[in-house]
Structure formats: C-alpha cells, structure tokens
C-alpha cells in the first residue's frame, strides 16, 4: 500500500490528548471494528488511541461524495446495508443515541429480461405465496418450510457468531474446557440438526436450492446471498454457508434475514460508533498511518507511524487485513513459521466491483411500470435472474475476463433516506460481480468503465429509462479497494468466507480467540470469527480478550510475562 507521511488529525475524548505518546491501548485502523474495540476499551477505563490512515474513519463502512462537481450527492461507497450488528453492541455502546438509525428494507425484487418479476418478503409468508405462485405453485408451498428450516439453523448458528471459537485439537486444560463448554451449550442438537448444519457447511447453494425448489426464478433469487463477496459461483461447495451468513442477522427488529439502510449511509454507523468511543474517552487520529508494531522482548509495546513517531501502549489491537497486520507490521521474523505460512496462504479474492449512481429518476420497470416510488424500489433491486446467469458471470471471471453480464445486488437507499441527495433525485448502489481475481494488481480503468456500461445495459433491458436517468457514476474496483481502503486482494471481508477460513480457522488455527502469537497484540479485523460484514463482533471480542488478560495480569502479575502464545497449537 502507498505510504504517505501526513500530519495526523486528532479528535479527542475526555481522557486523550493530541500530544500524548503513551496510552493504555492503541487500536490500529479506524474501520468500524477498530472503533468498536476502542469504545469497549475506553469504556473499561483504558486510555485509548485509534490510529486511522485515511482522512476519515469508517473503513469499508463509509459515506462519501465522490463527484467533486456534485457534492450534494453522497453515496455509501462500499458496504451498503446493515443486518449483522448484534443488539449487544447496539445497546452497550448506546448507538441509537449516537445516530444509529436503520430503515428496514423492502422486498427482494427481480424483473426478468423475458418479462415478469418476482418480489420476496423477509417476513410476509402470505405475499410470498402469491408472488412465488406466479412461477411455481410447488415452490410457493415449499417456501414456508424453507423459511422454517433456515430459522432452525439460525438458532444454532446465530449464537455461534458471538462464541469465541475454542482452540480445537489443543489438549491444554483451558482449551479442552472451552471445547467441552461449546459441546455442552449445543447438547440439545439432534441427529437431524447436525445433518442440516453439515449440509449447509458443505453444499453449494445451487445443490441445496435444487433440493427445495424447481423454478429458475425462485432459485436465482435465493442464490444471491450465497455468492455475495465470494470468489465462487453458485455451484461451488461452501456457498450454502455464505447464504446462511447473510441470512441469520436481523436489524434489531427480530425479523430473521432482514436488512436495512442506515440513515446517512454506512458512514453513519461508523460515526455513531466513533461518537460512542469518544464519549467513553477514546482519542481518534486520522491521517495517521501505522508502519510497524513496536515489539520489546517479543511483546507488543506500541506502534511506529510512517512519519517515524513512536506511540507506546501495553495493549495493541490491530483491525487490518491479516497480511498487513502480521506480515508487514509485525514481521515474519517475529512470528512462528507455521503462523506465517497460514497467513501467506490466506485466501483473499472476490472480484467485486461497486458501482454508485446518482439518478434523475427511479427505474421504470416494464414489468412494474412507473417512476413514482413503489414497493419494488425499496428493497434489493437485483440483476441475478437465474442460477446459470450468475454462474456464467463467475466462470468468465475465473477464465480471466470480466463478466459479460455481471450480476448485481442493487439498492436505492434514498427510497427512505432523504439525507443523501437533493429532493427528487436518487442514489443507487450496485454491488456487482465478477471481474478477474487479479484485478487488484492494476487499476483496469477502461475495462471497469466497459464493465459498468454492460451492467447498466442489463438493468436497462428491464427498465428502459435506466441508462438515461444516470447523472453521475462512480466505479470502485478491486485495485482501488486494496490501495485506498486496505482491502488486500479486493476481498470485501479481509478474507474469503470459505470453509477452511471459518470459525476456529479464522484467521489461523490456534489464534481464533482474537489473540495473536505476540503477547499484548490482539486482532479485531473482519478476518476473525463472525467477520466479515459490518457486525462489530471482532472489535468487541478483541477488546474483551484484552480487558480479560489485563485483569488476569493484575490479579497475578507474573502471568503477564509468561503468557507467551507461541505454543498455542500443542
Ligand atoms: C464493496 C463492499 C460492499 C460491502 N457490503 C457490505 C454490506 O452491505 N453489509 C455488510 O455488513 N458488510 C458489507 N461489506 C463488508 C464490510 O464492509 C467489511 O467486512 C467491514 O466494513 C470491515 O470492517 P473492519 O473494521 O474489519 O475493516 P475495515 O473497514 O477495512 O477497516 C480497516 C481500517 O484500517 C485502516 N488502515 C489500513 N491500513 C492502515 C494503517 N497502516 N494504519 C492505520 N490504519 C490503516 C483502513 O483505512 C480502514 O479504515 C462490504 C464490503 C465492501 C468492500
């Protein structure tokens, strides 16, 4: 990543100070996870500093005005919808008081190039039956059973999101105790549920949906969540789990799988967390790029900024991509060899392109005519008509060519949120896939423009006013994601949600408890369990681990120095 020495800008909570160089805790990275970690650490009484390389906090949860000649249009530039932030964090940090405000989304909507459309509701079985019956009576009857099946799985998987993964395979008494505790908590699982979880973890979303539904339209609609942000087409094993990961959250209203728009865009979520952190006393510095983690006797002691300034703290929490956090900032020579190998092998592709649009009017769909705001504008406005359509887009990208007809998870947040652009206009956000996985290495500017043209043409086929309604467009490809936002490889989650990178393997076996091989260094990125997504869980868990270790050290001071973690894999 480009190194740029700039003067740091500091915003200070009650206990900080821009001239201070010694803290109790330093958090590297002011994305939403870093901010959550800082808020919890500061709340525990630690003098906490957040260091963010960019000129603003939020990371991939950011609202920006990308068009200098039209600053009145703001877009939620990368991530675009909320679902996974747990009520624990919302309540602990009193985020509603700090501006966290979600508009629940309307239905999933797909207009088909061959005519007709489908709407799917997160919580309205009766209307789902009517909509799906347009395509298949059998599928309409199957839908309530599918919803109940998913709800049953969410009961098992949901609590796991807030569980610290045990160190599976370790024979140390503490690790064995944690493994047994997890088994005990799940003692009520029966043979059928275990089988269902196994299917979910191992099957492709295509095979799973084939077991339940017959119509291509319904299967296409349900497949989208299985491939979001994933370097895998719908026929790849493991994509069924990705669907579940995106289906088990709610926006705090208790409706499973519901997603919502933050008022003011996703930057509003990060701002609410930053305000909570500051209120608890944390100091936040922007334009402050960390170059190195400072080590003394093998333990974290602070950080060195790219302008050479040293800042010290006994606790350092890093929320950066694992390659940056460990290989660049800690250094291979300071880490166990097998851990280095695991991080080198970390899979971090996704081939995602985000396209943000300012629109003069809403899309006028042939299947559901009109440019006045209607229900089908209020949810996800998809371009993923069938499973083969999605698969073709992936196969082309895997063969080294950007998709001819990309798939898109589109949303129009301004259906609810009036703060993003002037009255009468709209913002539309297209989360699209795929371009080749190595497009993080070159900007591919012209090819991305052509890709965006094709994506827009696909929508234009079903809403003929679409192309002419576009006032401005902003295209963010994998190169920009890596170089401007630190999302190495362009992966939206700091690492793929593939089976070998989940739970006790995230980010590496033996180190899934938000601790690292370096005593005093904790890990809060989306590359840990429960990440990715804007869920804050990694930030909360890393802070909890640091706070717990400090308490233990205070109770028995000798343990702080003996907590060498290099042998965690025995
Ligand atoms: C295009 C796109 C769409 C997405 N859509 C959704 C969605 O709709 N809903 C959802 O829940 N999730 C979505 N995600 C995923 C989600 O946004 C991420 O998983 C999450 O925001 C990551 O948060 P984080 O705090 O772990 O890391 P980041 O947000 O990556 O934060 C890390 C921070 O560290 C900073 N940094 C980097 N290097 C340094 C350094 N050397 N020194 C100091 N600071 C540094 C970065 O600038 C950044 O601010 C999307 C992601 C992308 C890219």
Q: What is the mean pLDDT of the chain?
A: 92
Q: Which residues touch 340 (CB under 8 Å, ≥6 apart)?
A: 326, 327, 332
3-state secondary structure of 62: coil
pLDDT at 478 over 70: yes
- Mutation choice for ligand 1 from 10, 27, 79, 528, CB with most ligand atoms inside 8 A: 79
Query: How far is residue 346's CA from residue 322's CA, in Å, rounded to a whole number?
Result: 8
Pocket of ligand 1 (CB under 6 A): 28-34, 51-54, 59-61, 78-81, 84, 289-290, 319-320, 324, 352, 354, 431, 481, 485-487, 492-494, 525-526, 531-534
Taking a C-beta distance cutoff of 8 angstroms, is the pair 316, 26 a contact? yes
Pick the residue whose CA is nearest to atom 53 on ligand 1: 492
Q: Tell me, what's the pLDDT at 236?
A: 95
| Higher-confidence position of 84 and 389 | 389
CA torsion, points 426, 431, 433, 435, in degrees to nearest 10? 80
Looking at the chain, the number of H-run helices and the number of E-run strands are 18, 19
Tokens of residue 565, six digits? 């973690």
For ligand 1, the distance from its centroid to the CA atom of residue 528, given in whole angstroms, is 13
Average pLDDT over residues 131-159: 93
What pTM did the predictor assign?
0.95
Per-residue pLDDT at 154: 86
CA atoms of 129 and 310, how far apart (whole Å): 62
Task: Report pLDDT for 388.
Answer: 96
Rounded Cα distance, 76 and 84, in Å: 17
What are the beta bridge partners of residue 51? 28, 285
Angle (nearest 5°) at CA 113 between 108 and 119: 20
Tokens 């280095």 correspond to 340
Q: What local confidence, expressed as pLDDT, does residue 1 receive?
A: 35
Q: Are 30 and 58 in contact (CB under 8 A)?
A: yes
Q: 423-465 pLDDT, tens per residue?
A: 999 999 999 999 999 999 999 999 999 999 999 999 999 999 9
- Closest-lying ligand 1 atom to the alpha carbon of residue 31: 31
Give the pLDDT score at 558: 56
Give pLDDT tens digits for 180-208.
Answer: 888 888 888 889 999 998 998 899 999 99
Closest CA to 459 of 105, 76, 109, 81: 109
Q: At what angle do helices 216-227 and 137-161 cross, to 10 degrees?
A: 10
pLDDT level of residue 177 (50, 70, 90 thresholds): confident
Distance CA 22, CA 7 (A): 18
Is 163 a residue whose pLDDT tops 80? yes
Binned at pLDDT 50, 70 and 90, residue 480 comes out as very high
pLDDT at 16: 47
Query: Quick check: 531 pLDDT over 50?
Result: yes
> pLDDT grade, residue 555 (50/70/90)?
confident
CA distance 197 to 194: 5
Mean pLDDT of 306-322: 97
**Which among 534, 536, 539 is the best mutation to test ligand 1's pocket, defined by most ligand atoms within 8 Å of the CB?**
534
In the prediction, which pLDDT does 12 show? Answer: 57
pLDDT at 372 over 70: yes
């Amino acid at each position: 990543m480009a190194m740029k020495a700039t003067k740091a800008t500091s915003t200070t909570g009650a206990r900080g100070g821009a001239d201070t160089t010694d803290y109790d805790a330093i958090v590297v990275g002011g994305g939403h996870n870093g901010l959550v970690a800082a808020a919890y650490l500061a709340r525990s009484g630690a003098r906490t500093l957040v260091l963010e390389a960019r000129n603003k906090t939020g990371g991939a949860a950011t609202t920006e005005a990308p068009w200098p000649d039209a600053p009145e249009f703001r877009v939620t530039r990368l991530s675009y919808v909320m679902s996974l932030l747990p009520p624990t964090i919302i309540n602990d940090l009193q985020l509603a008081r700090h501006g966290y405000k979600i508009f629940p989304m309307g239905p999933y909507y797909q207009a088909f190039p061959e005519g007709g459309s489908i709407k799917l509701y997160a919580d309205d079985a009766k209307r789902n039956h009517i909509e799906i019956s347009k395509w298949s009576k059998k599928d309409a009857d199957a839908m309530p059973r599918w919803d109940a099946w998913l709800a049953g799985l969410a009961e098992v998987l949901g609590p796991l999101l807030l569980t610290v993964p045990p160190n599976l395979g370790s024979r140390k008494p503490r690790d064995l105790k944690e493994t047994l505790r997890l088994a005990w908590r799940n003692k009520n699982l029966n043979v059928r549920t275990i089988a269902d979880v196994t299917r979910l973890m191992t099957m492709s979303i295509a095979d799973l949906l084939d077991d339940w539904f017959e119509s291509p339209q319904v299967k296409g609609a349900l497949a989208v969540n299985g491939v979001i942000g994933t370097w895998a087409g719908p026929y790849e094993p493991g994509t069924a789990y990705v669907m579940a990961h995106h289906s088990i959250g709610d926006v705090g209203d208790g409706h499973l799988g519901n997603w919502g728009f933050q008022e003011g865009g996703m930057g509003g979520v990060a701002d609410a967390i930053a305000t909570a952190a500051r209120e608890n006393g944390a100091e936040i510095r922007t334009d402050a790029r960390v170059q190195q983690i400072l080590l003394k006797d093998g333990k974290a002691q602070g950080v060195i900024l790219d302008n050479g300034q040293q800042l010290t703290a006994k606790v350092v929490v890093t929320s950066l991509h694992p390659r940056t956090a460990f290989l660049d900032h800690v250094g291979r020579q300071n880490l166990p060899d097998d851990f280095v190998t695991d991080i080198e092998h970390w899979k971090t592709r996704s081939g995602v392109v985000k396209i943000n649009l300012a629109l003069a009017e809403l899309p006028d769909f042939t299947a559901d005519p009109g440019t006045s705001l209607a229900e089908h504008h209020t949810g996800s406005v998809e371009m993923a008509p069938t499973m083969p359509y999605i698969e073709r887009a992936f196969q082309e990208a895997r063969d080294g060519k950007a998709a001819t007809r990309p798939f898109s998870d589109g949303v129009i947040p301004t259906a609810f949120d009036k703060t993003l652009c002037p009255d009468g206009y709209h913002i539309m956000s297209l989360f699209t896939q795929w371009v080749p996985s190595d497009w993080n290495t070159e900007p591919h500017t012209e090819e991305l423009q052509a890709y965006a043209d094709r994506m827009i043409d696909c929508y234009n086929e079903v809403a003929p006013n679409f192309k002419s309604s576009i006032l401005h467009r902003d295209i963010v490809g994998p190169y920009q994601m890596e170089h401007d936002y630190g999302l190495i490889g362009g992966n939206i989650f700091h690492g793929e949600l593939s089976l070998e990178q989940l739970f006790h393997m995230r980010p590496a076996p033996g180190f899934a408890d938000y601790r690292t091989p370096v005593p005093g260094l904790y890990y809060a990125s989306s590359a840990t369990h429960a990440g990715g997504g804007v869920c804050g869980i990694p930030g909360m868990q890393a802070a909890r681990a640091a706070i717990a270790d400090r308490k233990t050290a205070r109770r028995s001071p000798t343990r702080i120095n003996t907590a060498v973690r290099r042998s965690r894999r025995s």
